[in-house]
Amino acid sequence: MVLRSLRYGETSRIVTLFTRAHGKVSAMAKGARETKSPFGSSLEPFCVASYVFYHRTGRDLQFLKSGWTEREYSALWEDAERFLHGAALLEFLDRILLEEEPVPEIYDLAQRALAVLTRAPRERLRELFRAFQLRAAAHLGYAPMLDRCLHCARGLPEGEAEMTEVWVFRATEGGALCPNCASGGEGGVRIRPRALRRIRTMALGRGEGFGEADLVGDRGGASLVRDSAAPSPLWIAALERIVEEYLHFHIERYHGLRSLRIRMDEMGAATA
C-alpha cells in the first residue's frame, strides 16, 4: 500500500510503502514517471500492489525494480468525502508506523478499512474512520481503559444508570472516571457509560476477523455500515475529540492529520 509519494528528479518517485512482511518501507522508484514505466498504476494511492525491490537491511532508501496492481479501491477517487477519509487513513498509518517493523494485524485492518470506506454510507464515514484509529492504536498497545473507573475501579453501570450517569474521559490519564472521582477535577469530555462501551468495543474489536462490525464496534456494527441514518452530531463531536486528544497524548509520533485539520478546528466540548 502506498502511504506517500513524492516526485524526484524528472522521471522518478520516492515512495513510502506499507507492506505486510517488512512494515513501512521507503523506496526509490526510478523511471516511475516515464511513459513506459515499469510500475503502471501500482504507485497510486488506494491500491494494493506487488513489487520487486532490492532490500538491504539498515539502508534508509530501498530501490524498486517493478510493480503491478493487485487490487484498487477506485470508489475512493469518485467521492470527495470518501477520498478525504481514505487519504486520512494513509496519512495516519504513515504517522504511527515505524520503519521496517512488521505489523501484519494493522496491515490487514487497513485493507479492510479501505474496503469499508468505499461502500459505507457517507454519513457513517467519520465514525468508521475513528473506529479504525482506535483499533490500530490498540494493536500498538495503546488501548484506553474504558470498562471501569481509573481511580476507584468501579465498573460501568447498567440499566437506568447507564442512561443517566455522566462520566468523564480524560486523555491525559488514559481512560474514564466515574462521577465521584471526576468531581472537582478539570478537563476531559463528559460522556455517558453506553458511549464509553461503544468506544471500548471500537478499540478492542471482536477478535481477528477485522470485519465491518470490528470497525464500527458494537453488536449492530455491520448494520450500521449499511444504515444511511446519520449518527448524532453530538456523538460524532465527542468521539472525534476523545480520539484526537487520546492519540495526541499517548502516541508521540501523532500530531493530528492535515487531511482532517479543518474538522478538528470545529470540534468542541460535548456530552454523548
Q: What is the pLDDT of residues 223-261, one digit of tens each?
A: 344 444 678 999 999 999 999 999 999 999 899 999 887
Mean pLDDT in residue range 18-39: 93
Mean pLDDT in residue range 162-178: 93
The label of the residue with cell 468506544 reads 199
Of 142, 167, 173, residue with least CA distance to 154: 167
Strands, DSSP E only, in the chain? 2-8, 12-19, 23-29, 47-54, 62-72, 167-170, 175-177, 189-191
Coil, strand or helix at 190: strand
Mean pLDDT in residue range 49-75: 92
Per-residue confidence band for 206, with pLDDT thresholds at 50, 70 and 90:
low
State the pLDDT at residue 160: 85
State the pLDDT at residue 88: 97
Answer with the one of 55, 72, 89 that is the final residue of a domain: 72
State the pLDDT at residue 262: 57
Least confident span in 26-30, 113-117, 150-154, 225-229: 225-229
- 159 and 32 fall within a common domain: no
Between the two ends of the chain, the Cα-to-Cα distance in Å is 35
The CATH number of the domain where 5 resides is what? 2.40.50.140
Per-residue confidence band for 34, with pLDDT thresholds at 50, 70 and 90:
very high
Answer with the one of 72, 91, 116 that is the final residue of a domain: 72
Strand partners, 28: 14, 63
> What one-character DSSP code corresponds to residue 215?
H
The CATH number of the domain where 95 resides is what? 1.20.1440.120
- 46 and 127 fall within a common domain: no
The whole-angstrom distance between residue 179's C-alpha and the CA centroid of its chain comes to 30
- 5 and 103 fall within a common domain: no
Residues 6+ apart with CB under 8 A from 217: 131, 134, 135, 198, 199, 201, 202, 203, 205
Least confident span in 79-93, 114-128, 158-172: 158-172
The answer to whether the beta carbons of residues 131 and 217 sit under 8 Å apart is: yes
State the pLDDT at residue 268: 44
The label of the residue with cell 458494537 reads 218
For residues 199 and 174, give the distance between their C-alpha atoms in angstroms, rounded to a whole number: 13
pLDDT at 220 > cutoff 90: no
- 129 and 30 fall within a common domain: no
Residues 6+ apart with CB under 8 A from 145: 174, 175, 176
- 126 and 39 fall within a common domain: no
Of 31, 99, 38, 27, residue with least CA distance to 64: 27
- 174 and 60 fall within a common domain: no
State the pLDDT at residue 214: 44
Coil, strand or helix at 65: strand
State the pLDDT at residue 208: 38
State the pLDDT at residue 210: 38
Mean pLDDT in residue range 23-29: 96
For residues 175 and 216, give the distance between their C-alpha atoms in angstroms, rounded to a whole number: 19
- 22 and 113 fall within a common domain: no
Domain carrying residue 166: 80-272
- 24 and 115 fall within a common domain: no
Strand partners, 67: 51
> What one-character DSSP code corresponds to residue 156?
P
Query: Count of domains in the chain?
Result: 2
Q: Which residue has the higher pLDDT, 237 or 161?
A: 237
- 64 and 96 fall within a common domain: no
The answer to whether the beta carbons of residues 156 and 126 sit under 8 Å apart is: no
Q: From residue 28, how far is each of 4, 62, 63, 126, 162 by CA, in Å? A: 12, 6, 5, 34, 54
Answer with the one of 72, 91, 112 that is the final residue of a domain: 72
- 112 and 245 fall within a common domain: yes
Coil, strand or helix at 92: helix
Residues 6+ apart with CB under 8 A from 87: 45, 259
- 63 and 85 fall within a common domain: no
